[in-house]
Amino acid sequence: MNAVDARTVTKNFGQFTAVDTADIHVEPGEVVGLLGANGAGKTTLIRMILGLLEPTEGMICLFGEPPGIEQRRRIGYVPQNLGLYTDLTLAENLTFRSRVFSAAPAPAPMSTGMSTGVVVKEQVVGSLPLGLQRRGAFQAALQHRPDLLVLDEPTSGVSPLARSELWDIIRSEADRGVAVLASTHYMDEAVQTDRLVVMANGQVVATGSVADVIDDRRTFVVEADQWAEAFAALDNAGRQPRLDGRTIRIRDDCDTSTRSINEALKMSGVVADIRSDKATLEEVMVELST
Amino acid sequence: MTWGTTDLTVRFDGEVALDQVSVSIEPGVIYAVIGGDGASKSTLLRVLAGLGLDHEGQVRLPPQERIGFVPSHGGVFGDLTVDENVAFIAAAYGLKNWQPRARELLERAVIDRFGDRLAGQLSGGQRRKLAGSMALLPEPQLLVLDEVTTGVDPVSRMELWRIVAGAAAAGTAIVAATTYLDEAERAEQVVLLHNGCVLALGTPAEIVDGIPGRVTDETTPSERSNAWRHGRRWHQWHPPGSTSNTSTSNASRTNSAHQTYRPSLEDAAIVHELAFVGASE
């Protein structure tokens, strides 16, 4: 049975359709990454899954049932702003949260490296580094041993090592059968997930692995000794170049060809090598979102 | 003209925040500053923005009016409209005939149609793009960006980086702190800070090549304290001379998928941090 089953879900706010006939499911033990630009509908979809908003049309089931108090008790949620009381200590936050859920406080999740030890627990949350605050928020969300973990930008703003420790916690939960739905803006993080769901303009526009989402999309790569002149020429020609070190990348769409790039460069007297490369997930995301 | 620092040390209440940091900053180059909580990325950026922190060592900067700075929060006046924000900067710097450049910057930031909107009513990504456009209006020689893309969606991030890359192409030196390693991977130079020290400095490829030992891809790590998740698999660091660095380790015997793997910049940043922590224990 799926932990989340959303079928042709639509949410309108007046004339505005925030989520448009979206389908999404999350199986136990699976980590699903939710990607999308601002306004894509991710937050509205998450709020419907959490039971904070009612769908205008369509249906959401949690653990095979319409979302009720019993189903919601099985959710652990870490919002982007962490949902901790910053003027309470971490220990006070954990105690408060465990009492709300009538749950015995669970031990800190297993992870390598730093642990939320006694010293940290007695510090006011607002005084802790962001990495430790995030770990604390995870601990608070996991205390009642949820079967579904919903994470909004779970590692935003932390270092690579701290991020790896947070993903260790997430994966450990998935390994014990917890379904995980995590939204992220960080494309490199997509490799941590089992499956991606990409939203744009309220709709689910792509699903699958990173390779599935990228599909056969290509990007032009422009290499020139005079990279700065080449960049300026392509920028002025409205080609929306991106810089990668000293190479330039340009979306391969129906308006762009080796010839049109060469023409733009020739006007500035720049000679360049142009080749085709596989698009990155970020480039595909932007293409799907615009 | 080259800017930068030599043996820069900054102390706050006697505690060392930056420890003999030397970085050379050249025109037209994008430098990404990466590192975790307490790495002192912001302190380095504040020095480079010419904010006058007490320090030891040398700091070489362009004239203050040729330095652009976007702090990690703010950088715009929320109670002014987009156009008023830009006009204020133009007046403060005494710019002449600034309107065409302002129009172009706002167009590239895709916020030109919000001229009458209060900056406080823009989305997070739009506000960051406005702050970047304002910092670039006086054509700075050095632009300092403190985690301007944290929490910003991929489309706005790409637009922001296009403006920044355009400035670099026009000769501006860019120093940008970021927590997104894919952004750092696209910078020409990367500065990896940890506890106020420079752990690594160079192109992204040089930082990856410079890690001690090697990294393997595993289904089950033989030493979890040196391993981190990569989806359902693990990446593991084998320090030089470690026992697990030989082909007879448990992992390689039991795991046919055990293989040396070309680390990403994210892997390299983790390894440098693990090596630093290991060395100081």
DSSP character string of B64-122: GGGEEEE-SS--S-TTSBHHHHHHHHHHHTT-SS-HHHHHHHHHHTT-GGGTTSBGGGS
Band the pLDDT of A113: cuts 50, 70, 90.
very low
Looking at B120-129, B164-173, B253-262, which range is the least confident one?
B253-262
Q: How far is B56 from chain A (nearest CA, A)?
A: 26
Mean pLDDT, residues B206-224 taken together? 92
Is B203 in the A-facing interface, judged by CB distances under 8 Å? yes
Residue A225 forms contact with B (CB below 8 Å): no
pLDDT score at B41: 92
Across the range A113-127, mean pLDDT stands at 67
Packing angle between helix A130-142 and helix A90-100, nearest 10 degrees?
A: 20
SS3 of residue A50 by DSSP: coil
Residue tagged 């430790």 (tokens): A132
- Give the residue from B108, B206, B228, B234 with the most A CB atoms within 10 Å of its CB, the best one to mutate: B228
- Written as one letter, the residue type at A88 is L
Q: Which of A125, A176, A185, A287 is the best residue to mutate to test the B interface, defined by the most B CB atoms within 10 Å of its own CB?
A: A185
Q: What is the average pLDDT across A128-142?
A: 87
Do A242 and B158 make contact, defined as CB atoms within 8 angstroms?
yes
User: Are B228 and A168 inside 8 Å of each other by CB?
Assistant: yes
Q: Does A270 touch chain B (CB under 8 A)?
A: no
Asked if B65 and B142 touch (Cβ cutoff 8 Å), the reply is: no
Q: DSSP string covering A81-149, please?
A: TTT--TTSBHHHHHHHHHHHTT-PPPPPPP-SS----HHHHTSBGGGS-HHHHHHHHHHHHHTT--SEE
Within an 8 Å CB–CB cutoff, is residue B111 touching chain A? no
Report the candidate in A167, A72, A56 with the shortest Cα–Cα distance to residue A111. A167
**pLDDT cut 90: percent of chain B above it:** 74
Q: How far apart are CA B218 and CA B258, in angstroms?
A: 5
Q: How far apart are CA B85 and CA A215, in angstroms?
A: 42
| Closest CB to A171 among B123, B153, B229 | B229
Report the residue from B36, B108, B156 with minimal CB separation from A162.
B36
**Looking at the predicted structure, is the pLDDT value of residue B219 above 60?**
yes
Asked if B161 has any chain A CB less than 8 Å from its own CB, the reply is: yes
pLDDT of residue A156: 84
Q: What is the pLDDT of residue A187?
A: 86
For A186-201, the pLDDT digits (tens) are 888 888 999 999 999 9
Q: Is B270 on the interface with A (CB under 8 A)?
A: yes
Residue B20 neighbours by CB distance under 10 Å: 15
> Once rounded to an integer, what is the mean pLDDT over residues A45-51?
93
Say whether residue A277 is in contact with chain B using an 8 A CB cutoff: no
Mean pLDDT of B20-45: 93
Where does the pLDDT of residue A117 fall: very low under 50, low under 70, confident under 90, or very high at 90 and above? low
- Contact indicator for A24, A2 with CB cutoff of 8 Å: no
Question: Considering only residues 111 to 130 of chain A, which have any Cβ-Cβ distance to chain B shorter than 8 Å?
Answer: 112-113, 129-130
- The band of A211, judged by pLDDT with boundaries at 50, 70 and 90, is very high
Q: How far apart (Å, rounded) are the C-alpha atoms in residues A200 and A288?
A: 7
Condensed to tens digits (0 to 9), the pLDDT of residues A259-289 reads: 889 888 998 899 999 999 999 999 999 999 8
Enumerate helices (H) and strands (E) in chain B, giving the number of each: 9, 13
Confidence band for B276, pLDDT divided at 50, 70 and 90: confident
pLDDT of residue A162: 85
Is residue A192 less than 8 Å (CB to CB) from chain B? yes
* pTM, two decimal places: 0.90
Are residues A235 and B169, on separate chains, in Cβ contact within 8 Å?
yes
In the predicted structure, residue A107 carries a pLDDT above the cut 70: no
Distance CA A243, CA A231 (A): 8
Within 13 Å, how many C-alpha atoms sit on residue A105's CB side? 14
Q: Find the closest chain B residue to A174 by CA distance.
A: B232
Copy the structure tokens of residue A51: 């039971």
pLDDT at A105: 62
Task: Give the pLDDT of residue B96.
Answer: 94
* Residue B155 with chain A: CB contacts under 8 Å: 37-38, 285-286, 289-290
**A172 close to A185: Cβ distance less than 8 angstroms:** no
Q: Contact A38/B227, CB-based, under 8 Å?
A: no
Q: Which of B136, B155, B230, B233 to mutate to test the interface with A (most CBs of A within 10 A)?
A: B155
In the predicted model, what is the mean pLDDT of chain A? 89
Chain B hits for A158, CB-CB cut-off 8 Å, are 36-37, 179
Span B241-253, pLDDT tens digits? 876 544 444 444 4
DSSP B267: H
> Residue A206 pLDDT more than 60?
yes
Residue B182, chain A, CB below 8 Å: the answer is yes
Question: Any CB–CB contact under 8 A between B39 and chain A?
Answer: yes
Reduced to 3 states (helix: H, G, I; strand: E, B; else coil), residue B40 is coil
To the nearest whole Å, the CA of A161 is away from the closest chain B CA by 5
Length of chain B: 281
Higher-confidence residue of A224 and A258: namely A224
Residues B159, B175: Cα–Cα separation, whole Å: 17
User: Is A19:A54 a contact under the CB 8 Å cutoff?
Assistant: no
Can you give the pLDDT at residue A122?
Answer: 82
Q: Which residue of B has its CA nearest to A129?
A: B37
* pLDDT the model gives residue B258: 61
pLDDT digits (tens, 9 = 90+) for B44-78: 999 999 998 999 999 999 999 999 999 988 889 99
- Please give the DSSP secondary-structure letter assigned to residue B133: H
A8 touches chain B (CB under 8 A): no
CB < 8 Å to A290, chain B: 155
